[in-house]
Chains A and B, each alone.
Chain A
Amino acid sequence: MNLHGIAAIYKFEMNRTWRTIGQSIASPVITTILYFIVFGSAMGSRITDIDGVSYGAFIVPGLIMLTVLGQSISNAAVGIYFPRFTGTIYEILSAPLSFVEVAIGYVGAAASKSIIIGSIVLATAGFFVPLDIQHPILMAFFLVITCVTFSLLGFIIGIWADGFEKLQRIPQLVVTPLTFLGGSFYSITMLPELWQKISLLNPVVYLISGFRWSFYESSDVSLGVSITMIFIFMALCMAVIGWIFKTGYRLKN
């Protein structure tokens, strides 16, 4: 395995992150603060506890997921799309690197950045609501696995996109609505029965539910189902990437 090659891509991508650190960190932190002010303080004080958890604390896992999902996708998508756009992809394609190594480099860097941002959002939340994480290791596991899975999705989008507009299409039109409707700000048990069933078709429900369980031991679906679903989604992303690598789709033709 070309470990130096993977490290080179990872370091290069992380350098890009550090170069834009203000924009990378400030934006999600400010957004989170706004959510806490609006939903946690202004409106949250009028909402009753959910499963024994104050509304402000209840939305913390959902807010972290909302941020890391978007960040993971956009980091990985831009990471691979930009070299395609500028033409510097020639260097990656002509290097003695397997596609798996290329993916590890880009997805690893994108996921790392998302994990850092997710942790910062979590720390920021601590200033607004008392945080009591029941299962910190499981919480970290969910955070990492979600960042990796959605970075894989972002990598696919970055290869599929043939313009900046397409780069934003899936995150804006699909992922953001799914995240908002996936129980970021409410428990799906609060919905009418039909909508509860429809919500179960949304993969983000399982992520948020499992993540929330690691905080408060309360969830919309069982922990096992959450973990299974996220691994299925991860396997799907890996299968698509495998096909891209096999065919050279949008990379070598």
Chain B
Amino acid sequence: MTSAIHVTGLNKVYDNGFQALDNIDINVEKGEIFALLGPNGAGKTTLISAICGIVTPSAGQVMVFEHDNVKAYRKARSHIGLVPQELTTDAFETVWNTVCFSRGLFGKSPNSKLIESILKSLSLWDKKDAQIRMLSGGMKRRVMIAKALSHEPDILFLDEPTAGVDVELRKSMWEQVHRLRETGVTIILTTHYLEEAEEMADRIGVIDKGKIILVEDKNVLMKKLGKKELVLELYKPLKKLPESLATFKLQLANDGQQIVYTYDSTKEDNGAVTLLDALKQDGIKCKDFNTRQSSLEEIFVGLVGKK
């Protein structure tokens, strides 16, 4: 597969000595949705800024579709659209003008039809002549996306795209992102909403304290690090678990009404059947059961917590 972005040995040390990026190596393939996760101050925005040319790295190299973003910055940057975390727009400019301005900056000639279709797809067409200061937060967020799409980028960076956005708009943005991916756009998103990464990403990278902790296919990651739980609802509550069940590492929950069995879903014999036999032998009757997969959020907390 072709690399959309290839980062090697990227470092950023600020003048005050703070190391925001520590030897970052990362590869994003063309057409994929890559989610970059990390706690506040982990280096997500600095990494995006360094790739986009906003921050000068202290060391390392960024290649965008095989163009060095320093030596061939025009070619490299022309592939990229950026939706920053902050709603930074010129408040007194109209939606139409600000989107046209963004297209011009990237060296593209005016294209009214394209801008019209972008604004319509983001439900901004009826606001095209409105000053940005008159728009709601959600609309401003969509204006930022329209600006980033105005020059028809091959790569779109979405830095916390749905921060402060209501559930309905968030879902509609997810749909928009999926539609963009269908047109071949590579998408890199950072988010605090792990549900968002879980919903959208093909691969996930986790960054903490300026270092990439892991990069993994989302499904593989969920399978590898995700644990499954079997929750058994009991007819009669237990005060304590019988000694005979000690080998299963069970937990009593809900005032003894539930037994929770955590197991590795990747193993062929996960021990669930053996547990049910053991419960039967001990005369413990179950009235119901359910299983649940640990979420990306739990995996993420586990990963960052370990560091």
| Residues A88 and B89 in contact in the complex (CB < 8 Å), given A93-B53, A96-B73 | yes
Give the residues in chain A near B77, CB-CB below 8 Å.
Answer: 94-96
Of B52, B105, B109, the most chain A CB neighbours within 10 A belong to B105
| Residues A88 and B15 in contact in the complex (CB < 8 Å), given A4-B109, A94-B77 | no
The one of A86, A88, A95 that contacts B106, using a Cβ cutoff of 8 Å: A95
B86 at the interface (CB under 8 A from A): yes
Structural contact, A95 and B105, CB atoms closer than 8 A: yes
Structural contact, A92 and B88, CB atoms closer than 8 A: no
B188 at the interface (CB under 8 A from A): no
Question: Closest 6 A-B residue pairs measured CB to CB?
Answer: A8-B104, A87-B88, A95-B105, A96-B74, A94-B52, A96-B77
Structural contact, B104 and A11, CB atoms closer than 8 A: yes
Can you give 21 A-B contacts (C-beta < 8 A)?
A: A2-B74, A3-B107, A5-B105, A8-B100, A11-B101, A12-B101, A86-B89, A87-B86, A87-B88, A90-B84, A91-B82, A91-B102, A92-B105, A94-B77, A95-B106, A96-B75, A96-B107, A252-B54, A252-B55, A253-B15, A253-B55
In the complex, what distance in Å separates the CA atom of A135 from the CA atom of B109? 40
B251 at the interface (CB under 8 A from A): no
B90 at the interface (CB under 8 A from A): yes
Q: How many A-B residue pairs have CB under 8 A?
A: 81
Of A3, A11, A19, A97, the most chain B CB neighbours within 10 A belong to A97
What per-residue 1/0 map shows which CB atoms of A2-33 lie under 8 Å from chain B? 11110111011001100100000000000000
The one of A7, A98, A248, A252 that contacts B104, using a Cβ cutoff of 8 Å: A7
In the complex, what distance in Å separates the CA atom of A8 from the CA atom of B88? 18
Give the residues in chain B near A97, CB-CB below 8 Å.
Answer: 105
Structural contact, B105 and A9, CB atoms closer than 8 A: yes
Structural contact, A253 and B56, CB atoms closer than 8 A: yes
A70-90 CB contacts (< 8 Å) to partner B? 86-88, 90
Structural contact, B74 and A94, CB atoms closer than 8 A: no
A149-175 CB contacts (< 8 Å) to partner B? none
B43-63 CB contacts (< 8 Å) to partner A? 49, 52-56
In the complex, what distance in Å separates the CA atom of A94 from the CA atom of B56? 11
**Smallest beta-carbon distance B65→chain A, Å:** 13
**Smallest beta-carbon distance A239→chain B, Å:** 21
Count residues of B near A (Cβ-Cβ below 8 Å). Answer: 36
B78 at the interface (CB under 8 A from A): yes
In the complex, what distance in Å separates the CA atom of A94 from the CA atom of B88? 14
The one of B56, B73, B88, B108 that contacts A88, using a Cβ cutoff of 8 Å: B88
What per-residue 1/0 map shows which CB atoms of B112-124 lie under 8 Å from chain A? 0000000000000
**Smallest beta-carbon distance B169→chain A, Å:** 22
Interface residues of A (CB under 8 A from B): 2-5, 7-9, 11-12, 15-16, 19, 86-88, 90-98, 248, 252-253
| Residues A90 and B107 in contact in the complex (CB < 8 Å), given A252-B54, A252-B56 | no
In the complex, what distance in Å separates the CA atom of A11 from the CA atom of B53? 24
B248 at the interface (CB under 8 A from A): no
In the complex, what distance in Å separates the CA atom of A19 from the CA atom of B93? 9
B289 at the interface (CB under 8 A from A): no
**Smallest beta-carbon distance B20→chain A, Å:** 11
B235 at the interface (CB under 8 A from A): no
Having A8-B101, A96-B78, one finds 20 other A-B pairs with CB under 8 Å, namely A2-B74, A4-B105, A4-B106, A7-B104, A8-B100, A11-B101, A19-B92, A86-B89, A86-B91, A87-B84, A88-B88, A90-B54, A90-B88, A93-B53, A93-B54, A94-B52, A95-B105, A96-B107, A252-B56, A253-B55
In the complex, what distance in Å separates the CA atom of A253 from the CA atom of B147? 24
In the complex, what distance in Å separates the CA atom of A104 from the CA atom of B97? 20
Closest to B104 in A: A8
B187 at the interface (CB under 8 A from A): no
In the complex, what distance in Å separates the CA atom of A23 from the CA atom of B60? 48
Structural contact, B105 and A8, CB atoms closer than 8 A: yes
Give the residues in chain B near A8, CB-CB below 8 Å.
Answer: 100-101, 103-105
B193 at the interface (CB under 8 A from A): no
B80 at the interface (CB under 8 A from A): yes
Structural contact, A94 and B90, CB atoms closer than 8 A: no
**Smallest beta-carbon distance A1→chain B, Å:** 9
**Smallest beta-carbon distance B30→chain A, Å:** 20
**Smallest beta-carbon distance A101→chain B, Å:** 10
Give the residues in chain B near A87, CB-CB below 8 Å.
Answer: 84, 86, 88
B200-225 CB contacts (< 8 Å) to partner A? none
In the complex, what distance in Å separates the CA atom of A12 from the CA atom of B107? 15
Give the residues in chain A near B55, CB-CB below 8 Å.
Answer: 252-253
In the complex, what distance in Å separates the CA atom of A93 from the CA atom of B53? 6
